[in-house]
Amino acid sequence: MIPLLDVAELEVRFPVRQKAGLARRTPSFVHAVDDVSLTVAAGETVGLVGESGCGKSTLARTLCRLIDATAGSIRLEGREIVDTHVRRAAKAPWRGDIQLVFQDALDAINPRMTAFQAIADPLKRLRGVRSGPELTATVTEVAASCGIAETLLGRFPHQLSGGQRARVGIARAIACRPKLLVLDEPTAALDVSVQVVILQLLARLKRELGMSYVFVSHDLNVVRMFCDRIIVMYLGKIVEIGPADEVFRHPRHPYTRALIQAIPSGIPGAAPQAVIEGEAKSPIDPNPNACRFVGRCPNEERRCSEAAPPFVSLSRTHQARCHLLRGSE
């Protein structure tokens, strides 16, 4: 069966501006997303984790075609969408099927739009619904399903609380009934009690509307609870991918292990867990013939600096990119 989303060898590079007088013959690039292949099945929730700057938002935005890819393929229900230029993609018929929920709802909502207008906007733009009773009824219904009272619909973003804005951001994203919702740290800007409520809302909407989620988060506990599969990124590359439960119980890549060991236990007085030392290398023109984790890896060997590690299949559904792993097949 064709997966809902099928991404192959995706690459996103940003040119680095050269300082005046330092013009080099070969331009430099930030390798924000490098050789990323993944699938998302209908109804599946895939978690995307990794430290700040590893390329999660760039990947999320590229999937929703808000950023042009440098190379690779993105197929939505078998249809190639990577070639459509960002400006065209904004109005493409499939654009309503894949929607992004931004980390901060303020990024998604035009400050001059009321909550009503913000939710109505994608319906008008992507589904061709005209202003009138049908639009009003749909917006009111979508808002209600996200817990937004009708009295709030006339308010501008700055007149809403963070939690209310998050709800408007979600309502706007689901208004077109997308098949895939890409959520870029949807609760990061909220306090803990509101985070729980928003996560419950997202879980309910997923059940009711049968959507698939790509769920970007810093919070590994949330990812474990919420996701069927997990993808771990490090400096633009996927280093481990597998069923969430399996990855959490038996992380195989040293970076994933460190991430999981660093999860706060929640036990008062418990000793702090090991965290990865040092900083990640620069994402600008990384060495193609070395593992990106070199310099921070506790198990590093000479070959790690001499060749990029291949993906090793640990089971039918679990893979990691490390020289030191042996495959199951």
Ligand X SMILES: Nc1ncnc2c1ncn2[C@@H]1O[C@H](COP(=O)(O)OP(=O)(O)OP(=O)(O)O)[C@@H](O)[C@H]1O
Q: Which residues bind Mg ion (CB under 5 A)?
A: 57
Name the region of 287 (left: φ>0; alpha: ψ -120 to 50; beta: rest): beta
Q: Which is nearer to Mg ion, 45 or 57 (CB)?
A: 57
In terms of CB distance, is 56 or 318 closer to ligand X? 56
Residues 119 and 110 sit within 8 Å (Cβ to Cβ): no
Instruction: Count other Cβ atoms within 10 Å, centred on residue 196.
Output: 13
Task: Note whether 30 binds ligand X by CB under 6 A.
Answer: yes
Q: Please identify, using beta-carbon distances, which residue of 57 and 62 lies nearer to Mg ion.
A: 57
Non-local CB neighbours of 244 within 8 Å, separated by 6+ positions: 47, 223, 224, 227, 228, 229, 230
Does residue 26 belong to the site contacting ligand X (CB under 6 A)?
no
Residue 92: count of CB within 10 angstroms of its CB: 16
Contact partner, 54, from Mg ion, ligand X, none, Cβ < 5-8 Å per class: ligand X
Q: Which of 149, 64, 53, 128 is nearest to 101 (CA)?
A: 64
Q: How far apart are CA 27 and CA 18, in angstroms?
A: 8
C-alpha 192/C-alpha 198 separation (Å) is 10
58 scored as a contact of ligand X (CB under 6 A): yes
Contacting ligand X (CB under 6 A), which of 7, 45, 46, 55?
55
The count of residues in the chain is 329
Distance, CA of 125 to CA of 121 (rounded, Å): 6
Q: Nearest distance from residue 116's CB to ligand X, in Å?
A: 30
x-marked contacts with ligand X along 5-24 as a string, rule CB under 6 A: ---------x----------
276 binds ligand X (CB under 6 A): no
Strand partners, 229: 46, 243
With binding defined as CB under 6 A, does residue 56 bind ligand X? yes
Residue number with the shortest CB distance to Mg ion?
A: 57
Position 54 contacts ligand X (CB under 6 A) = yes
Minimum distance, C-beta of residue 182 to ligand X, in the bound complex (Å)? 12
Enumerate binding residues for ligand X (CB under 6 A). Answer: 14, 30, 32, 50, 52-58, 283
